[in-house]
Amino acid sequence: MGDDRPAVPSLPSHPPALPQRPVRVFLPCTGLGRQRRGFETFTTECADALRNDPRIDLTVFAGGATAGVPARVRWNLPRDGALAALAGALVRRDGYFVEQASFFLAFLPALVLGRPDVVYFADLNLGNLCWHWRRLTGQRFKLLYYNGGLTTRPFTRADFVQQLTPAGFDEAVARGESPQRQAVLPHGVRIPSALPSRLTGDARRALRLPPDRPIVLAVGMLDCAIKRADYLIRELAALPAPRPFLCLLGADGPDADDVRALARERLGDDGFLARAVPHDEIGHWYRAADVFALASLREGFGLAYVEALAHGLPIVAHDSAVTRHLLGAHATLADLSRPAALTQALSRALGAPPSEAERAARHASARDRFGWDALRDDYARLLLRVAELPA
């Protein structure tokens, strides 16, 4: 970036003194209980990580039933439902906006009566509504925005912004955002203390995976625009026979039917698997994979990259500031906007299986940089810092 790159504001080097009372933090997530994005996973894990911190009183608000997760469910019109589509057509907005607006109405009594110090949000429309409510009523809660989607919208409706990578911070400062209103703090990830053992041979059959073929795993929505599953399928199909088996794990996106049809055409019915699985089960598939590959050209963070790293997997990804920061020398990075680039990178990764020492080094990198044990106190200090901002 050069010598004129602005310094990234850091959190205080020492934990603040214990406040007179715990800082009340509301963490609303409209998709929790229904969607399977990174923020839903983050919400549950963040709440669990901070549950026993005496400085923080964190309450999760969810849009759907959350078995095993302590959360207050608030009524709303789900983004994928017919009523949300109808309401969206009437106000000329999409179902996602309708979900957040209806959720806000049900969230409002808690916002007024619960008197939070901080509202910690990732859904921009919900944050906007909280900001307007504060402007109209004079409530004094602070708004902390989790920029997991690497938005390019101005940060006018937040008091402070959590960037997940230095790349996000650099982009925001380059377009004129104040560096003093941001801090870089990675997405926390639940990572086991020891490297998980691999699943090989017949142990893979329980996952409907072939026991005797290399497995290439991709985790993300089945779509063509963002995760670029179509590009991944074509590039893997260009490998010489016998090709590896492709395992696509993720919720259906708008192109899911086309993705499955293309996979059948290029790989055959016995050459791929495409399905969604609960996040708490996904570790089995990481353990069974030989290589992890993701074809997206832009990620705000890339939770799946870190999960693959934590399982010691070789990783093939697009060469970007985010992937260089997350993965460094532990991945094969290439310009995946080019035809044949992923084919070549996969060939290299599949041709050089990692040693146990290399797998352990990948796991340690993920655990020490992104595990909750390493980040828990940083999250508490971020919330305390935001709570203390001037009204």
Q: Please tell me whether residues 157 and 287 are part of one structural domain.
A: no
pLDDT score at 144? 98
* 115/140 Cα distance (integer angstroms): 8
Strands (E), 45-190: 56-62, 72-73, 118-121, 142-146, 160-163, 182-184
Q: Please tell me whether residues 229 and 329 are part of one structural domain.
A: yes
Q: Please tell me whether residues 361 and 223 are part of one structural domain.
A: yes
pLDDT band at 4 (very low <50, low <70, confident <90, very high): very low
Buried b (16+ CB within 10 A) or exposed e, 246-275: bbbbbeebebbeebbebbeebbeeebbbbe
Q: Please tell me whether residues 243 and 359 are part of one structural domain.
A: yes
The reply to whether 1 falls in a domain is: no
* 354/342 Cα distance (integer angstroms): 19
Q: Please tell me whether residues 273 and 141 are part of one structural domain.
A: no
Q: Please tell me whether residues 176 and 217 are part of one structural domain.
A: no
pLDDT band at 6 (very low <50, low <70, confident <90, very high): very low
Give 97-136 pLDDT, tens digit per residue: 999 999 999 999 999 999 999 999 999 999 999 999 999 9
* Average pLDDT value for residue range 143-151: 91
Q: Please tell me whether residues 112 and 139 are part of one structural domain.
A: yes
Q: How high is the mean pLDDT of the chain?
A: 91
Residue 195 neighbours by CB under 8 Å, 6+ apart: 311, 312, 359, 360, 363
The reply to whether 148 falls in a domain is: yes
The reply to whether 15 falls in a domain is: no
| Domain span at 360 | 201-370
DSSP 16-85: PPPPSSPEEEEEEETTTTT--SHHHHHHHHHHHHHTT-TTEEEEEEESS--TTS--EE-----TTSHHHH
The reply to whether 27 falls in a domain is: yes
The residues pairing with 27 across neighbouring beta strands, listed in sequence order, are 60
Q: Please tell me whether residues 377 and 306 are part of one structural domain.
A: no
The CB-side HSE value for 261 (13 A sphere, CA atoms) comes to: 5
pLDDT score at 13? 55
pLDDT band at 68 (very low <50, low <70, confident <90, very high): confident
Q: Please tell me whether residues 156 and 227 are part of one structural domain.
A: no
The reply to whether 194 falls in a domain is: no
Total number of domains in the chain = 2
pLDDT score at 5? 42
Residue 8 has pLDDT above 80, yes or no: no
Q: Please tell me whether residues 275 and 323 are part of one structural domain.
A: yes
pLDDT score at 70? 87
The secondary element (H helix, E strand) that includes residue 315 is strand 315-318
- Look at residues 24, 37, 92 and name the one whose alpha carbon lies nearest to residue 251: 37
* 375/372 Cα distance (integer angstroms): 5
Q: Please tell me whether residues 75 and 125 are part of one structural domain.
A: yes
- Look at residues 32, 33, 50 and name the one whose alpha carbon lies nearest to residue 382: 50
